[in-house]
Amino acid sequence: MGIRPALACRDWKGQPWARMSRRKPRKSYVKGAPHVKVRQYNMGTDKRFDIEVELVADGNIQLRDNAIEAARQAANKYLEKKLLDNYFFQVVAFPHLVLREHSALGVAGADRISKGMKRAFGKPKGRMARVRAGEAIFRGRIASAQLPEMKEALRKAHTKLSGTYTVVSRDITADSVNLLRSLVGRKMKKKVEEVKVEEAAAAPTAEGAVAAAPAGKEGAAPAKAEEAKPAAGKKK
């Protein structure tokens, strides 16, 4: 049988019992899983750009790895054609979960078992990614003049995915400047606090030294007088 439509796995239906354990394989719900079909996660040139654009999910959705790969290829080919290497494109969603299907016969003479078993656990057939509302599927960074091309690339990627999405863009140059300012401000504040702590620790020691100096002189005078008395007695 061919691949099932996205309707069969796109909705959230409770807990996905598709756990895989490497330390304790006998505890795994799924004994084996197919390889992820997404071939590449970072494309283009990762350097400093002006704008960051994301394709954000409007609601909770589950996406298969083959759909993510198809969307990635559609967007990346368009960006390579229009922008060459002057962009950075990234796949954010990773298909961790394992899809399970209970195989059913679809040939003539198999009408009684063509629907399969009810509530069957099934066998591993693919991978999928669980994406919550507000999370990004793809992320791109480009110069400010190349924003229309990136939006068109994400539109092409959207046509390969089920569900509804929104393109969100933000200026990352201002964010980097504010981040640098905040880091510098934190360092300066930390230095000022360290100086204050050192001054506060040095103040009591200085006061104690000043107070101890007179007491030492007064205590030394009687000792000299006592030493002088025996000396006078010897002369006599």
- pLDDT value, residue 211: 57
> What's the pTM?
0.68
Express each pLDDT in 191-213 by its tens digit. 667 666 777 777 666 556 555 55
CA distances from 3 to 6, 12, 16, 187 (A): 9, 19, 20, 57
Residue 236 has pLDDT above 50, yes or no: no
Q: 16: buried, middle or exposed (CB in 10 Å: 19+, 13-18, 0-12)?
A: middle
Mean pLDDT of 82-86: 90
The pLDDT tens digits of the residues spanning 23-79 come to 888 888 887 788 999 999 999 998 888 899 999 999 999 999 999 999 999 999 999
The tens digit of pLDDT for each residue in 86-142 reads 999 999 999 988 888 877 665 665 555 556 677 778 888 889 999 999 999 999 999
- CA gap 48, 115 in Å, rounded: 54
Residue 5 has pLDDT above 70, yes or no: yes
Unique residue bearing structure tokens 């198809």 = 70
Domains and CATH numbers, the chain: 6-178 (3.90.1170.10)
Rounded to a whole number, what is the distance in angstroms from the first to the last CA of the chain? 130
Residue 14 pLDDT > 80, yes or no?
no
DSSP string, 40-105: -SEEE--S--SEEEEEEESS-EEEEHHHHHHHHHHHHHHHHHHHTTS-EEEE-----EEEEE----
- Give the model confidence (pLDDT) of 138-156 as tens digits: 999 999 999 999 999 999 9
β strands within the chain, DSSP E: 42-44, 51-57, 61-64, 88-91, 97-101, 123-131, 136-142, 165-171
